[in-house]
Structures are given as structure tokens and as C-alpha cells.
Amino acid sequence: MRQRKVKNLETKYEDYNDILVREPASMHGKWAERASGRPVYLEIGCGKGKFISEMAEREPGRYFVAVEGNQSVMLRAMEKVRAKSLDNVAFVPEFAEDLSDWFSDGEVTGIYLNFSDPLPKNYWYRRRLTYRERLKSYFRVLAEDGTVTFKTDNTGLFEWTIPEIMAADLKILDITRDLHAEAASIEDPAERAAFNIETEYEAKFSGLGEKIKRVVIGRGPERTSAEQHTDTETDKGEPEMKITSMAAFNGRDIPERDRNFTAVGNAKAAIAKKGKEAVVNATVGALYDDDANLVVLDSVARTFRELSGTDFAEYAPIAGTPGFREAVRKAAFGSYEPKSYVGIVATPGGTGSISNAVDNYSCPGDRILTHNWYWGPYGNIASEQGKSLETFEMFDEEGRFNIADFEYKVSKLLRNQEYLVIILNTPASNPTGYSLSLDDWYGVKRVLDGVDLEKKVTLIIDAAYIDFAGEMDEVRAFLPVIDNLRGNILPVIAYSASKTFTMYGARCAAMLCLAHTPEVAAEFEKVCSFFARTAWSNSPRAPQTVIEKIYSDPELLKETDDERRHWRDMLRARGHAFENAAAECGLEIVPFRAGFFVTIPYKDPDALINALGKKDIFLIPVNGGVRVSVAAVAEDKCRKLPAVIKDTIAEIG
């Protein structure tokens, strides 16, 4: 029920003059003095005061400023504070417009926006408290580490707010679309009570079954000013402005340089100066022979050369040519015939498959789950779409796949997300070379079988290196396991034909789903084709035609498979040579099975990279260690390299 106007309001307000700030502009820059040095927190729209009074009671070391334009409503809030004898709350009986009029820069530590008016008419959007310009204004008065916490039951307003946060170039620090479900899962009563304080409105509508949403917003990455004064003047004698930035960063943290490409560039420079033999270039994520020449399957190169102009010049259908779709299904599944309904969409490389799936099967602000040893662009993909990564520990203390932490993180994320995308990079993961065993896969299945049927999970298997991980049927032994998941779990295989057929620059891949119903498979092709149309339109036709021709000619297919097997055996020998040499010299490596890469855990990857670079050994830094591309290093060097790395670690400490 709406609060009725209180009679004799001004008279009743006289009793609260000690906690009323009727002229907040007069307090500009003076709030710390009033707060006796305590950090200042602000609630815009305090309503009847349940939240602010309980927060102030719980946090006596903080000072709270409650703003409310409805003075009859605010009277009830002041009554609650007075009843609790609190001395750390002040009330401002006004509507908040420009907080910079009331607070100086950095004067506020946190701002709460609880159940703000959604103002549903489209032309009211600038008045909403989470409009991008308002969000920016909050951070002008917030401290460097200050945050804005927004709660609402209004789904439309919440989902509208997420892109506004991005447009304001701010960061989502925490998000939940079911706050009370997350709170209920906290076992410790004290921790659960501290997790969330309800407002009157919240208690009422959550009791009616409404899901409460919450997002915590932080300051975005520091940017260089887009405008700078120069020493020159315009024709009118005014200082000329130099524009230094035009990009809308949307909260993304884009580094000045890519550490991987820097390492690759340093290796190439050393080779140009000293020659291939004097340098160990273990930076490249492609297969090279023992003479450091890029491996290209002869059968594939020949088929490329035999293409007609139409074969590569004509547009391919967005989802892929019919012949390619048939061929890539055989390539991805091998001899296994799925029981599920299969949807297929072509993409320009495996990165395209992952980006497409993340976009279509998760919501803005969601966390994408993957293992803590992961390929760096996963984070870029998530960030680009207004999402973020959550990781589970890939290995337990005994070096086994950590199914317990995987289960914990799945449960944690699904408490506050309706959708969850999981990325597992296997077989032969980048950067570790680890492949999930059948026991690991049955553990994953057990966890996913326990997911609430109302939740939707998309399991992306990034199988980029599958055909260099072992024999075809052996490395696909997991397919029957994921082909037998429940209907609310959608497996999607990101299959990189670019790597399988050694045509990296041709950018050819496909995403294949295993759906319980034909409707879900058809929807998969529809939504993923729509994303493709807006992101890159058509994938290149030439590599699709090459793969179609290979699979339509049994002799050519056998030739291609035999060639690949030869190079795979070479790669396997290199990997195990490195693994055995590491064991002999006592160099710790992350559990390895097969593939292009081995990873060494180390506390300061950049320091190790720099030290090895002085010895003309070039590796790639990853979070928590360094990656060695055994795909690019001859077997004899793979035997020698672990001891050098071990000695270098000892030298730098």
C-alpha cells in the first residue's frame, strides 16, 4: 500500500533535526567531519528505512546518508533509526539529481540503489537511476575502490541496466539473478544474515515468489584522457584540443600489448639475428617439423591447388555448404554415430565457435565457467560480451581432474544464473596437454545430471587438438557419455578443421550440438547462424570445399589420415621426451597427456620468460606459469629444454 501523506509533517520533522541535512550542498567536502572519519555510504531512495537502519546497526564503523524525496515515507525511516538509537545515519529529504553538488570527488565509499522506480515508459530512460550518465556521475563522488550496489525485482529494468553499465565503461564485480536462492545456500547463519539485508519492498515481493536481482558495479579500467590541450591555438586564439581516443571501451580492459605476440615477435627477432639453430622458439601454436618449417599436409595443399575459381570465390551458406556440413560431422564424430539430434554451423576457426556459443547461451553479466589453466582468449570473449570468467581448480593435490571443485563451482554459479556456459578444453588442452579420462567424463556427467531441470547448461567441448591427441576412436571415447546427458544440458563441440587439416590461416571450423529434440537442434542452427551473420557473415568457402573433397574421395581421405598420423607420432614423441626429461631433472609440469603444449607452473611467469629470453629460449606466459609449444620444437631440443628451465628457475629464485 502506498504511504499516505502524513499530517503535520514539518512539526514532526522538528524532532529529527539532529539527523536531518536539509541543505546537503552545504556539506560538500565536509561529510568526513560529520561522520567522524568513518567511511560514508549513501542509499538513494531509502523508503521506509528497513535497509538503512539495519545496515547502520550492523556496521557502526560506517556512516550512512539516506536520501528520499517522499518526506512522508522518510519519516518512517527516521523513526526506525531513532528507535535503535543510531548515531551513524543522516537523512536528506530531497530527490538526488547531481551528487557532485552534495559530495566532493572520492567522498563516498559505496552507493546503494534499492528497488528504484523502473520508469517503464521508453522516453523516461534518462531519468532511471541506472542510466549510463547517472552511473558515471556516481563514480565521480565515489572513492577509487567505491562500488554501486543495485537491487531490483524488475527483470526488465535489471536487463536494461546491464548494457548501461557497459556503456558507462564500468565493471560488473558481482551479479545474481536470484539473490535469495544464493543466500539460502549459505550454511553459516551469521554469514547468511550478513549476505543481504532486505528492504520492506523486497520482503513483500520475494514472499510472493518474485526473484530478486542484484549487481555490484565497480570502476572501469583507467583510461587516458580523450582530450588534451596542445601548445597551438585555433584561428580564434583558443587552445587547440588534441583528440587521443575515439573508442567506446564498454568496460573492457584492453591491454596496450599482447604478451603472446610480444613473445612471438622476440623469438622471430632472435632467429633473424642468430639463426634457427641458435634459438628455441616454443611460442608458436602450430605444428613445425624438425627443421622449423610449418607442417602442411601434402594432400590438403594439393587439394587446395586444384580448386576452381568458383570453389573459393563463391559465397558459402552461413551455416556452411551442405557437403562441408556432412564432411565435418564425420570428421568431428569419427566412427561414432550420435543418438541425439545434431545441429551444425560453420565458423571461421574454433574461436568463432566458442564466441558464438557463449553469446547465444548465456546472458549479459553471467560468469562463464572453465578450468584455471585455460586459453587466454576465453577471457577476451567473455569480456567482449559483457560477461566474465569463473574458474575451478583443474587438478587436485594428487594431480587428478578436480571433479569436486568443478561440482562446487557449477552449483555456486547456478544459484544465481538461469543459464550457465561451461568450457572444457579437451582432449590435449591448451595450455596443459591434459585430456579428460573416461572416469573424468563420468564425473562431469554425474555433476550435470544433478542440475535442476529449470536451469539450462551449455557444455562447450573445445576439441581444437583432438586429432593430434591420439587415435581417432580412442580420443572420441567420451562422445557416448555426453550424448547421454539430460535435456537441459546442451553439449556443443567446437571442432577446429584449421588445426586438424593444417590450414591455420584458412580459418575453418564448425560448432556441432547434441540436442535431445529436433526443435533444440533447429534452434541452435537458427540462433548461431544469426550470430554468424552479424559477426562475420559467411565463413570462407575454400577450406570447406577442400574438406568436402577429401571426405568424398576414400583414397584421398586415407592419404590425409596417414599423413596426419605420421606428424601426430612425431608430436607425441616430442611431448613424451619433454615429459620424461622433466621428470629426470625434477622440473614440475602440469599433468600432460598429449598435444601441442606442456605447461610449467611458476609464480612469476614474466620473470621466467625474460630470463629464458636472455638464453634465446622463448616461451609463452600464462596465468600461473609458462607454456612450451612442443609442436614447434624438435625432439632433441625437447629433451634438453627441461633442464635449462629448471636451472633458470633456480637462478631467479
Q: Does residue 11 surpass a pLDDT of 80?
A: yes
CATH code of the domain covering residue 333: 3.40.640.10
Q: Specify which residues 512 forms β-bridges with.
A: 344, 493
The secondary structure of residue 596, as a DSSP letter, is: S
For residues 9-23, average pLDDT? 92
Distance, CA of 410 to CA of 451 (rounded, Å): 9
For 60, residues 6+ apart whose C-beta sits below 8 A from its C-beta are 88
Same domain flag for 617 and 570:
yes
Give a yes or no: residue 235 inside a domain: no
Same domain flag for 534 and 639:
no
Going by pLDDT thresholds of 50, 70 and 90, the confidence category of residue 1 is: very low
Q: What pLDDT, on a 0 to 100 scale, did the predictor assign at position 237?
A: 64
Distance, CA of 250 to CA of 597 (rounded, Å): 34
Contacts made by residues 531-534, CB under 8 angstroms, sequence distance 24+: 531/356, 531/359, 531/360, 532/318, 532/319, 532/345, 532/346, 532/347, 532/352, 532/356, 533/318
Q: Is the N-terminal amide bond of 491 cis, ω within 30° of 0?
A: no
Distance, CA of 433 to CA of 429 (rounded, Å): 5
- Which domain-ending residue is among 155, 187, 218? 218
pLDDT digits (tens, 9 = 90+) for 231-268: 556 666 666 667 878 888 888 888 777 788 888 899 99
Give the catalytic positions in this structure. Answer: 117
Q: What pLDDT, on a 0 to 100 scale, did the predictor assign at position 4?
A: 65
Domain containing 648 equals 259-295+561-652
Residue with cell 601426430: 568
CATH code of the domain covering residue 121: 3.40.50.150
Give a yes or no: residue 4 inside a domain: no
pLDDT digits (tens, 9 = 90+) for 607-623: 999 999 999 999 999 99
User: How many separate domains does the chain show?
Assistant: 3
299 vs 251, residue with greater confidence = 299
- Which domain-ending residue is among 497, 517, 552? 552
- What is the total residue count of the chain? 653
CATH code of the domain covering residue 266: 3.90.1150.10
Same domain flag for 537 and 425:
yes
For residues 291-300, average pLDDT? 95
For residues 371-389, average pLDDT? 94
Same domain flag for 591 and 523:
no
Give a yes or no: residue 288 inside a domain: yes
Name the least confident of 183-187, 344-348, 527-531, 630-634: 183-187
Alpha carbon of residue 265 to chain centroid: 27
Give a yes or no: residue 228 inside a domain: no
pLDDT digits (tens, 9 = 90+) for 493-503: 999 999 999 99
- Which domain-ending residue is among 218, 250, 268? 218
Give the pTM: 0.89
In this structure, the number of other CB atoms found within 10 A of the CB of residue 145 comes to: 9
Same domain flag for 545 and 571:
no
For residues 125-131, average pLDDT? 95
pLDDT digits (tens, 9 = 90+) for 78-115: 999 999 999 999 999 998 889 999 999 999 999 999 99
Same domain flag for 531 and 631:
no
Q: Does residue 546 surpass a pLDDT of 80?
A: yes
Same domain flag for 28 and 60:
yes
Give a yes or no: residue 458 inside a domain: yes
Q: What pLDDT, on a 0 to 100 scale, did the predictor assign at position 65?
A: 97
pLDDT digits (tens, 9 = 90+) for 452-463: 999 999 999 999
Give a yes or no: residue 254 inside a domain: no
Going by pLDDT thresholds of 50, 70 and 90, the confidence category of residue 391 is: very high
Same domain flag for 195 and 123:
yes
Same domain flag for 602 and 635:
yes
For 86, residues 6+ apart whose C-beta sits below 8 A from its C-beta are 53, 56, 57
Q: Does residue 419 surpass a pLDDT of 70?
A: yes
Q: Does residue 466 surpass a pLDDT of 50?
A: yes
In this structure, the number of other CB atoms found within 10 A of the CB of residue 559 comes to: 18
Percent of the chain with pLDDT over 70: 96
pLDDT digits (tens, 9 = 90+) for 308-319: 999 989 999 999
Q: What pLDDT, on a 0 to 100 scale, did the predictor assign at position 375?
A: 95
Same domain flag for 31 and 152:
yes
Burial of 337 (0-12, 13-18, 19+ CB in 10 A): exposed
Same domain flag for 568 and 548:
no
For residues 39-50, average pLDDT? 95
Same domain flag for 347 and 471:
yes
Distance, CA of 501 to CA of 505 (rounded, Å): 11
Give a yes or no: residue 229 inside a domain: no
For residues 23-39, average pLDDT? 96
Give a yes or no: residue 250 inside a domain: no
Percent of the chain with pLDDT over 90: 85
**End-to-end CA separation in angstroms for the chain:** 67
